Amino acid sequence: MKLRLGVNIDHVATIRNARGGDHPDPVRAAIMAAAAGADGITAHLREDRRHITDNDIDRLMAEIDLPLNLEMAATEEMLDIALRHRPHAACIVPERREERTTEGGLDAAGQQDHLAYFVDELTDAGIRVSLFIEPSERQIDAAVRLGAPVVELHTGRYAHVDGEERTAELKRIADCAALAAKNGIEPHAGHGLTFDNVVPVAAVPQIAELNIGHFLIGEAIFTGLEASVRRMRELMDAAR
Ligand code: PXP
């Protein structure tokens, strides 16, 4: 099974928004990422619109050929937007206004009643729902109960620890990917992945997609976006 790469373009918008105006354009970045081997584009429309805007979502839907994975909080506002645009996929993420990024996974187990409505509404609209969760059996079990077709395993902790702790975290990710697949759920993974840490995660055979953003956009400052995406693709392909 080929491992897909979803390129998250949020931080192109972060740089644009630092000055207002149109440059750099995240839609142009999405088109370049596609040319460099991305299989999908991921964008997180946050409640505070700190990077991606509603207009970016309009343009991404109209102007790119790749499937769009819309990351969204489980709120009525985001649900309306998703139902209006019908992206290929919606990844439900936890969102706290004061956090710098999505710092932890969704508590799918603790919030099952709240999430069930969003999973059902999105699914009924033909949108492939993914739940961004910590790699834990409890969360996978909740995803099974919710009927989500996809889970995205949060690799943030894996990315931020070293040595034995990283080995243990990788095992949690691999075990959860296997458990998800056994239950008919497609496992994805993402957060904090870089050229230096992507290979062991990419080598987990059940994982079907990685969503990577901050590092690729940062690296693009030095090497260009195409080179940055191409290198990530090569590392991912070599790991399989
Ligand atoms: N997957 C999800 C669900 C995310 O929220 C994010 C960050 O927005 C990513 C993947 C990408 O993480 P990073 O920007 O650290 O590569």
Reported as half-sphere exposure (CB side, CA atoms, 13 A), residue 120 has a value of 8
CA of 106 to the centre of ligand 1 (A): 13
Residue 71 a catalytic site member: yes
Domain ranges (residues) in the chain: 4-239
- Annotated catalytic residue: which of 71, 152, 169, 186? 71
- List for the chain the helix, strand, coil content (%; round to 5): 50, 15, 35
What top-level class would CATH report for the domain 4-239?
alpha beta
Phi, psi angles (nearest 5°) of residue 39: -100, -15
Per-residue pLDDT of the chain (240 residues), as tens digits, is: 899 999 999 999 999 999 999 999 999 999 999 999 999 999 999 999 999 999 999 999 999 999 999 999 999 999 999 999 999 999 999 977 666 766 789 999 999 999 999 999 999 999 999 999 999 999 999 999 999 999 999 999 999 999 999 999 999 999 999 999 999 999 999 999 999 999 999 999 999 999 999 999 999 999 999 999 999 999 999 999
Residue 191 a catalytic site member: yes
CA of 4 to the centre of ligand 1 (A): 15
CA distance 213 to 227: 14
CA of 22 to the centre of ligand 1 (A): 23
Q: What is the pLDDT of residue 97?
A: 61
- Annotated catalytic residue: which of 152, 186, 191, 209? 191
